[in-house]
Amino acid sequence: MTLTTIIGFSGSLRRASYNSALLRAAQAAMPAGSRLEIASIRAFPLYDADEEAAHGVPDAVSGLKDAIAAADGLLVATPEYNNSIPGVTKNAIDWLSRPPADIGRVFGGKPVAIIGASPGGFGTILSQNAWLPVLRTLGARLWTGGKLLVSRAGQVFDENGAIVDPKSEEALRRFLEGFVASIRD
């Protein structure tokens, strides 16, 4: 069996982000024969078509585009802000889809899964649902075989960002097993 490589990024820039902690937990819980490489969107500037026209795609964006294109799948850990997609995460996807001629190389048919953690009681269900038309437009293959909505994240993660809730840890493990299995099919 060949190694299944997934690239993932957190849609939160906050140091103590629950979504970054969830992504690190996913890295530790990957099934045998697979790995998760965590990337960062911190260096992405705000998207500006004038800047793109004048200077091209920034190196940080190009590097992540190449990593996504080379990976077997993409895992996005998305927060939920104001019942929808966080601006910083959408900005990253907007940059990653530039220039439009590169969309197929980066996203076309790429297996994508979305996870999320929130201090609220509904996890990130509205944010995850809001991603559906965006990913469809990019031609990604959204994995819908499972959902991972971590609610009340302050009780799931300790002060160091480690999962302390066995039920959430098991749900993450099952989610990752399903996503990796779907990529291998």
Distances in Å between the Cα of 123 and the Cα atoms of 56, 62, 148, 169, 179 are 37, 31, 8, 15, 19
DSSP, res 25: H
Distances (CA, A) of 125 to 11, 60, 80, 83, 149: 15, 29, 8, 9, 7
CA 15/CA 8 separation, integer angstroms: 17
Could you tell me the pLDDT band of residue 149, with boundaries at 50, 70 and 90?
Answer: very high
CATH number for 119: 3.40.50.360
pLDDT at 1 over 80: no
Split into its structural domains, the chain has a count of 1
Residue in the structure block whose two tokens are 């190389």: 105
Q: In the predicted model, is pLDDT for residue 131 greater than 90?
A: yes
pLDDT band at residue 16 under the 50/70/90 scheme: very high
Please name the amino acid found at residue 142.
Answer: L
pTM over 0.95: yes
Which residue range is the domain that position 176 belongs to? Answer: 4-184
Q: What are the phi and psi torsion angles at 27 (to 5°)? A: -60, -40
For the chain, what is the mean pLDDT? Answer: 96
pLDDT value for 107: 98
- DSSP line for 139-179: T-EE--S---EE-SHHHHB-TTS-B--HHHHHHHHHHHHHH
User: Pick from 108, 94, 8, 95: which is nearest to 55 by CA?
Assistant: 95
DSSP 46: P
Q: At what angle do helices 18-28 and 166-184 cross, to 10 degrees?
A: 60
Quick one: which of 107, 106, 120 has its CA closest to 154?
Answer: 120
Q: Is the pLDDT of residue 31 over 90?
A: yes
Neighbours of 183 (CB within 10 A): 19
